[in-house]
Amino acid sequence: MDWQTAFQFIGGLGFFLFSLKYMGHGLQNWAGEQLRLLLHRYTANPMMGVLIGIGLAIILQSSTAAIIITIGLVSAGFMTLRQSIGIILGANIGTTLTAFLLGFNIGYFAFPILALGAFSVYFSKRHTFQNMGQFLFGFGGMFIGLAWMNSAIKPVIQSTRFLEWSGQLSEMPVTGMLLGIITTAIVQSSSATVGILQSLYAQGGVSLEAAMPILYGENIGTTLTVCVASIGMATSAKRAALSHVVINIFGTILFFIVMTPFISYITWLQHTTDLSLRMSIAFAHGTFNSVTTIVLLPFIGAIMWIIKKCIKGNISDTDYVPTHLERNLVEISPVLAVGQAKEETIHMATICQQGYQAMREYVNTGDSSLRTKSLKLEGFLNSSEQTITNYLVKISAHQLSKVESERHHTLLETIRDLERIGDHVENIVELYDDLMHQRSSFSDVAMTELNRMFEMTEQMIAKAILLFDTADRSLRAEIMLLEEQVDEMERASRKKHIHRLNHGECSAHAGIIFSEMMSNLERIGDHCVNIAEASIRK
């Protein structure tokens, strides 16, 4: 092989991988909301997990990406190990779709499809057509990249040395398996390895006996990327990654045992159905993963037992550390990353609510443990706001649809308002500290008014969080009504307190602190309105 041929093959492989990713990116943008719903409607039923895994791998056009997303969700606590195993089994099946697509002889239409996609991307103003244009460009480009690789390897596989080597490979299945593992690990795409294998087999470069071990090895090689991605993650994520390894090694062992009848089965299919050579590899790939799934589906409990024996340790839960922001999602699926940022924002909002409640109880009881809890939660809000903002900044470096961009902007506004609510809660705690330090107190009437203000503001926080989570527009009217009542109460209470000061019913120092507390509560209400308005715009 001369340098020009080598570069043609590498260029074809690069264009194939780019097209595959670009096609998946278009599908993700087109199916953004459906993709999010797909993941949030998983169930303990393993069969449903398999179906979700198939759909996820098809949308992402990568089983590796689908499984990395899955282990990220396991790490974030959104999914159990049992649920993730079902999705991993399904993702292995879903990735075979690419091999079936490559099995069709539509190379002649690749350039028109690519051109149609390019025109849709650059000349259409509708996001739906742009997303479908990305899919078509990637779809056509995938066949063009494969054609370049075919053209490059054609003179190579006709050489005497290659024919001798491929003949020996038929007698060395373990070597073939290692070749499949190494190739997939290098290109980090099982679809690319299968595409190359289809080309070799279709042009007579390898026999079916030599192709099958390479196919088996490809299934093991694809697990390496997932294992690397799990480094530094929680124990639960490492277990999910190991389950992928266990599943694919089991499938490889099983099909090595039945390799002779399996090859006879594929040969029989070729003769009885007039199956093309490329499609034969696709059927072999699909059969491998489908049979492995059918065999292992009833034994998910046993797989979990093996994995927990291999990776021991308790999975600890920390209440005040962001848990939903999976770094791998930003690169693999920005659409899903936006969804995870929303989940973390809801978590942040819940902690904000808890901090407010602890502050309110502290003001009413003077319990120092409640003061500590409220300030600890405020510290979490500060770090969480910074963490989510950084995560969203990384997402913004990627292309998002108009809808996802609006959600992205809403999240930035919401976390800023939540952090400001936390600041006002901290202000009230410090104001009450000052009151206690001066050995002063509020009158019973003042405490009654303050608690009424506490109650209405707490309702506003709860309704704003619910509106952000559910987009229930009817809550906006309730929040706006409460905002008017809070503003009116703040003005009325200020006047009443001035009256009490004038009549000597409370100290001047207590009066100043009371007014400042009411002012902070009124500002919390303003931030709740901001959250509601931003949530309706998204």
Show the domains of the chain with their CATH numbers: 3-310 (no CATH), 333-537 (1.20.58.220)
Tell the residue number behind the tokens 């309702």, with chain if given.
459
pLDDT at residue 401 in the model: 77
pTM attached to this predicted model: 0.60
Per-residue pLDDT at 410 exceeds 70:
yes
Among 31-40, 139-148, 206-215, the range scoring the smallest mean pLDDT is 31-40
Q: How far is CA 77 from CA 67, 371, 427, in A?
A: 15, 29, 33
For the cut 70, the answer to whether the pLDDT of residue 408 exceeds it is yes
Highest mean pLDDT: which of 391-395, 467-471, 522-526? 522-526
Is residue 234's pLDDT more than 80? no
| CB atoms closer than 10 angstroms to residue 437 | 8
pLDDT for the residue 64: 77
CB 402 within 8 Å of CB 127: yes
In this predicted structure, which of 22-31, 155-164, 170-179, 371-380 has the lowest mean pLDDT? 155-164
pLDDT given at position 320: 43
CA distance 329 to 337: 5
Query: What does the pLDDT read at residue 262?
Result: 93
The residue to which tokens 């790490």 are assigned: 75
Tokens of 471: 């987009």
pLDDT of residue 255: 93
CA–CA distance, 92 with 294 (Å, rounded to integer): 12
Query: Could you tell me which residue, 107 or 442, shows the higher pLDDT?
Result: 442
Banded model confidence at residue 76, pLDDT cuts 50, 70, 90: low
Most confident of 26-30, 275-279, 408-412: 408-412
Read off the pLDDT band of 251 (50, 70, 90).
Answer: very high
Which range of 42-56, 321-335, 443-457 scores highest in mean pLDDT? It is: 443-457
> pLDDT grade, residue 171 (50/70/90)?
confident
Q: Are 34 and 62 in contact (CB under 8 A)?
A: no
- Does residue 319 register a pLDDT over 60? no
CA 191 from chain center: how many Å? 21
Task: Lowest mean pLDDT of 7-16, 76-85, 464-473, name the range.
Answer: 76-85
CA distance 467 to 501: 40
Question: What is the per-residue pLDDT across 262-317, written as a single tens digit (0 to 9) for each?
Answer: 999 999 988 888 888 889 999 999 999 999 999 998 898 899 899 988 887 654 44
Instruction: Find the mean pLDDT for residues 129-138.
Output: 82
Token duo for residue 306? 């093996």
End-to-end CA, the chain: 56
Yes or no: say if 153 and 197 are a contact pair by the CB < 8 Å rule: no
Alpha-carbon distances of 195 from 58, 102, 148, 523, rounded to whole Å:
16, 7, 12, 61
**Confidence band of 406 (pLDDT split at 50, 70, 90):** confident
**Separation CA 258–CA 272 (nearest Å):** 21
Across 341-369, average pLDDT: 91
Higher model confidence: residue 284 or residue 193? 284
Tell me, what's the pLDDT at 315? 46
Whether the predicted pLDDT of 321 surpasses 60: no
Six-digit token string for 102:
């490559």
Better-predicted residue by pLDDT, 497 or 10: 10
Within a 10 A sphere around the Cβ of 264, how many other Cβ atoms?
A: 12
User: Tokens standing for 331?
Assistant: 């690169």
Check residues 168 and 492 and name the one with the higher pLDDT: 492
More confident residue, 320 or 333: 333
Q: What distance in Å separates the CA atoms of residue 471 and residue 277, rounded to the nearest whole number?
A: 52
Are 20 and 192 a contacting pair, CB within 8 Å?
yes
| Total count of residues recorded for the chain | 538
pLDDT over 60 (residue 157): no
What's the rounded Cα separation, in Å, for the pair 361 and 359? 5
Cα 458 to chain centroid, rounded: 32
| Continuous H helices in 471-538 | 474-502, 508-537
Q: Which of 74-78, 101-105, 301-305, 332-336 has the lowest mean pLDDT?
A: 74-78
46 HSE (CA, 13 A, CB side):
17
Per-residue pLDDT of 81-117, as tens digits, reads 888 888 899 999 988 887 887 777 666 677 888 888 8
Residue 293, pLDDT score: 93
Q: For residues 72 and 206, give the distance between their C-alpha atoms in angstroms, rounded to a whole number.
A: 38
Using DSSP, state whether 275 is helix, strand or coil. coil
% residues pLDDT > 90 (the chain): 24
- Cα–Cα distance, 20 to 429 (Å, whole number): 55
Decide which of 76 and 287 is more confident. Answer: 287
Q: Supply the Cα-derived Rg of the chain in whole angstroms.
A: 30
DSSP code string of 347-364? HHHHHHHHHHHHHHHHHH
Residue 276 has what pLDDT? 85
Give 126: exposed, middle or buried? Use CB within 10 Å, 0-12, 13-18, 19+. exposed
| Structure letter (DSSP) for residue 6 | H
Buried-state track 308-344, b at ≥16 Cβ within 10 A, e below 16: eeeeeeeeeeeeeebbbbbebbbebbbbbbbbbbbbb
**Helix, strand and coil percent figures for the chain, each rounded to 5:** 85, 0, 15
Q: Give the number of other Cβ atoms within 10 Å of residue 365's Cβ.
A: 11
Q: How far apart are CA 379 and CA 376, in angstroms?
A: 5
Residue 107 pLDDT:
63
